[in-house]
Structure 1
Amino acid sequence: MFNSNSLNQNSPSIIRKSSSPNPNKPASSPALTCGPNTGPAALVADANPGDELQFFWTGADKSNWLHNTGPMLTYLANCGDVTCDKFNTSAKWFKIDQVGRKSEGSSDWVQADLMTGVPATVSLPSNLTPGNYLIRHEIIALHLATSFQGAEFYPTCAQLKVGGTSTGAPMQSEHVSFPGRYSDNDKGIYDPDVFNVRATYVFPSPQIASFVSGSSDAPAPSSGSSPSSSKAPSASSTKGALSPSATSASSNSRAGKSCKLKKSSCKSAFAAAASATMRLRHVSRVMRCRRACSAD
């Protein structure tokens, strides 16, 4: 498991450290990339296509996440020939996952499950081309989104090196930039009907990249306490956990982040790496990941 670094701590991690714990807004804020004033982290985690990541979101005091309304979205960006600890240019992102309400017409959001301490779960595409990637997991808290610029953005980024021999990749037209893609007027960001269960929630664009198996923009089905996804996870993936910490109900609440990477029993296990802790005033994140095992 990897923890993100606190503002006064510099332990090695794969999670990029932010300089401020506050909610990020408006949609044009430079902090929408990976958080405010982030730079490369010290470590890179090995992963495989189909690996399942878990993001644990908690408060800085390790209390459970306090927001329950709004989507969670996951993006990847290819760092090219260099490992992502050496990559700090404007990344081009493509979406691999999004979850919103548990079902059409429900008042319950998958995000609310974080309040019970369960992680947000995301699978890397089972056909993802090998390479160096940043993964960006984001919560958009919409409890104030009935007002213009009321949405609160909580992005976090971690550094991965994906192995394998797959060839799945996004089309050029599916790449986006942060900031730049979102607007404060976008559906799913400024949403006067966010508490109206009869109104269909529209995720902020872009759509999930077309190469991702089972990609869809439909509302995620209910899956109990486990976060559901609008893409079908790989059947071969094993469960891991990437955990960010939750925000509080007010913009003055505290939170922290952390990320954990566990070795699996697979033949090619993750490289060992030191654990670090990151605390933010408003949000905290943790990341854990296990590799998908393949037959020898």
Structure 2
Amino acid sequence: MRSLTIGSVISSLVAGVFSHGHLVSVVMNSASYTAFLPVATPDFTRAPPSIVRRIGGDGPVLDISSKDITCNFNAEPIADNGVSRTGPVTAGSKIDMIWNGWPHSGPILTYMAKCSGDGGCGNFTGREGNAWFKVDEMGWDATTEAWATQVLFDQKFRWTFTVPACLTPGEYLVRHEIIALSDCKTPGKCQFYPECFQVKVLGSGTTDVEAAARVGFPGAYKKDDPGILWDTNSRNPEDYVMPGPKVWKCPA
């Protein structure tokens, strides 16, 4: 165990300057979509119009049993005249998510959910039933001896994941999240920063994710989960257990 890393020192110093964070943009299939910036709102409709759901602020969600844990405060489906607004992304390609910065230590997780029902993602909140499957995660990285958020810092606040190549084409909601572990030692004080954006997966995949691999938001996390109730000051980061389900993989 290495109790103090360069990353933890940086995180502690930066935390004294600012304490919250949010997405700035999402890049996929050579297009860049501006996120809804709660501290300096851009033109949310400029080309290409944003597919990132609006959030109510740059602060954390604390109540994991509330609807806010799904996509953040006041995040609702985006539609234009009843037609869902999505960005095209090819199955098997990468999506880059750029943050404004990040001061805390913690894991980074990404989920996807197929937008079911009439209206596609323009009418799909993501809050009903078990719709979400995990496609990417990083907690404590033993190779670099750093939390995922330090890796994010080193990558100039850019995080990348690959859309599973086998996915059936259609509209999906992506849920990207950072968990700030600084106050997780106290039940109900863990800080969650989820954001969602609407995509249309293109390709020739034929796989629909099985029900056993899907979870609900709210519902996927519990206050006493080992990856939620966590004391960064006393626990060995190598013992950290990622919350939620296992990362879903395409069938071999």
TM-score under structure 2 normalisation?
Answer: 0.74
1:46 equivalent in structure 2: 88
Instruction: Indicate the residue corresponding to 1:286 in structure 2.
Output: none
- In the alignment, what sits opposite 1:4? 35
Give, in angstroms, the shift of residue 151 of structure 1.
1.5
Aligned to 1:14: 51
User: How many residues matched?
Assistant: 206
Q: Deviations over 1:158-216 (max 9, x none)?
A: 00111111122221111111111111111101113675336421011211225367xxx
1:80 and 2:116 matched: yes
CA distance in structure 1 between the aligned counterparts of 2:37 and 2:146, rounded to whole angstroms: 32
- Equivalent residue letter for 1:57: W
User: 1:53 deviation in Å?
Assistant: 0.8
Unaligned runs of at least 5 residues, structure 1: 59-63, 214-296
Q: Structure 2 matches for 1:90-239, cutoff 5 A?
A: 90-91=127-128, 92-103=131-142, 107-116=145-154, 117-192=156-231, 196-197=235-236, 199-211=238-250
1:32 to 69, 76, 91: 69
1:114, 1:120 within 8 Å by CA — same for their partners in 2? yes
Change beyond 3 A, Cα 1:194–1:41: farther
Instruction: State the shift of 1:94 in Å.
Output: 0.9
Alignment check: 8 A CA contact 1:19 1:37 kept? yes
Q: 1:75 to 1:134 in 2, by over 3 A?
A: same
- Contact preservation (8 Å) 2:141, 2:148: yes
Q: Is the 8 A contact 1:169 1:211 kept in 2?
A: no
- Judged with a 3 Å threshold, the aligned counterparts in structure 2 of structure 1 residues 196 and 166 are, in CA distance, closer, same or farther, namely same
Residues 4-53 of structure 1 deviation map (CA, whole Å, 9 limit, x = unaligned): 22456643310000123321102213211001121112431011111101
Q: Which has the higher contact order (CA 8 A, sep 6+)?
A: 1
Counterpart Cα distance in 2 of 1:86 and 1:147:
36
Q: Distance in 1 between matches of 2:98 and 2:74?
A: 22
Identity across matched positions, percent? 33
1:203-235 Cα offsets, whole Å, 9 max, x none, are 11211225367xxxxxxxxxxxxxxxxxxxxxx
Letter in 2 for 1:167: T
Specify the SS of the correspondent of 2:112: strand
1-structure distance, mates of 2:67, 2:186? 21
Instruction: Report if the CA contact (8 A) 1:182-1:204 is conserved.
Output: yes
In 2, distance between residues paired with 1:39 and 1:127?
28
Unaligned stretches of 5+ in structure 2?
Answer: 1-31, 80-84
With over 3 angstroms needed to count, the CA separation of the structure-2 counterparts of 1:18 and 1:182, relative to structure 1, is: same
Q: Could you tell me whether the CA contact under 8 Å between 1:27 and 1:182 is conserved in 2?
A: yes
